[in-house]
Amino acid sequence: MKLGLGSYAFRWSIGIKELQPSSPMTAMEVLEIAHSHGLKLVQYADNLPLDRLTPDEHLALKARADSYGMALELGTQSFDAAELARYIPIGERIGSKILRVALDAEDALIPVSELAAQIRELLPDGKKAGLRFAIENHFNYPSPRMVELLDAVADDALGVCLDVANSICAGEWPMATVKMLAPYAINLHLKDYQITPDPYGVGFRIHGTPLGDGRAEIPEILDCLSHCPDSMSCILEHWLSQTSDMEATRRTEHEWLGRTVAAAKRLVPGSH
């Protein structure tokens, strides 16, 4: 697999909602960081939306990536046919092969037949631009419903961006999600997590860790994806919680990424 950096690895350095740094990390800075870690690509998600850049800035980003021998991928949040139509030419401009769409609770309210019909309308333009749509299992879109949607569309240009932990929120244990969605996977989001009991016995907390330090069953996950081509991208992310010291939290993002990249290069076949 080709190891890549997901922009959500720098959730706090880029800024999210009201938690904005004085100098938000830019798309070019994310690319430079990925290059410094020897990664092969960057996937820009909805926390760093590329539709806010100009066409010239898109071309400059691609030129820098090309100079490093790196690829770029594109992502957005929730299904919006008009937004995806706007993103297709951006994907073509930066040479992306993937347009990742994270489906969530509101998308789950759309009948599968209706959502499938909207996706089918977009696929021809996506194919012309060299794009495949990768729908991500997010917090509140159940995997069985995703399978129903994929089978309804039944087109090789539509597949899954498989996140190994998101669907815990949808009531699925990670390996159940992986086994269900692996046959459709065209993109992987790899992260790790830990489950910590409350010190007073009031339930437990699921929180992120650097890759290799938590409960994610990495060898088993990768074994389920052994049928995928070597060219498939494996996007590194993490769930680093905010703290009262956001500057320290932003420094920790860099530390966690370094540990995650080292673990990925050790654990992911063909990533060296």
pLDDT above 70 for 116:
yes
The dihedral sign for the CA sequence 145, 149, 150, 154: positive
What pLDDT sits at residue 140?
Answer: 82
**193 vs 81, more confident:** 193
Burial per residue of 236-253, b for 16 or more beta-carbon CB atoms within 10 angstroms, e otherwise: bbbbbeeeeeeeebbebb
Mean pLDDT of 123-134: 95
Coil/strand/helix, residue 42: strand
Residue 9, domain member (yes or no): yes
pLDDT above 70 for 255:
yes
Cα 27 to Cα 30, 45, 62: the distances in Å are 5, 10, 11
**254 vs 269, more confident:** 254
Residue 272, domain member (yes or no): no
User: Taking a C-beta distance cutoff of 8 angstroms, is the pair 190, 161 a contact?
Assistant: no
Rounded-to-integer distance, Cα 52 and Cα 77, Å = 15
Rounded-to-integer distance, Cα 149 and Cα 170, Å = 17
pLDDT tens, residue by residue, 194-248: 999 989 889 889 999 999 999 999 999 999 999 999 999 999 999 999 999 999 9
User: Taking a C-beta distance cutoff of 8 angstroms, is the pair 44, 87 a contact?
Assistant: no
Residue numbers of the domain that contains 196? 2-267
CATH number, domain of 157, equals 3.20.20.150
User: Taking a C-beta distance cutoff of 8 angstroms, is the pair 159, 165 a contact?
Assistant: no
What pLDDT sits at residue 147?
Answer: 95
Residue 145, domain member (yes or no): yes
What pLDDT sits at residue 81?
Answer: 83
Residue 106, domain member (yes or no): yes
What is the total count of domains within the chain?
1
What pLDDT sits at residue 160?
Answer: 97
Residue 7, domain member (yes or no): yes
Residue 30, domain member (yes or no): yes
What pLDDT sits at residue 272?
Answer: 58
Residue 149, domain member (yes or no): yes
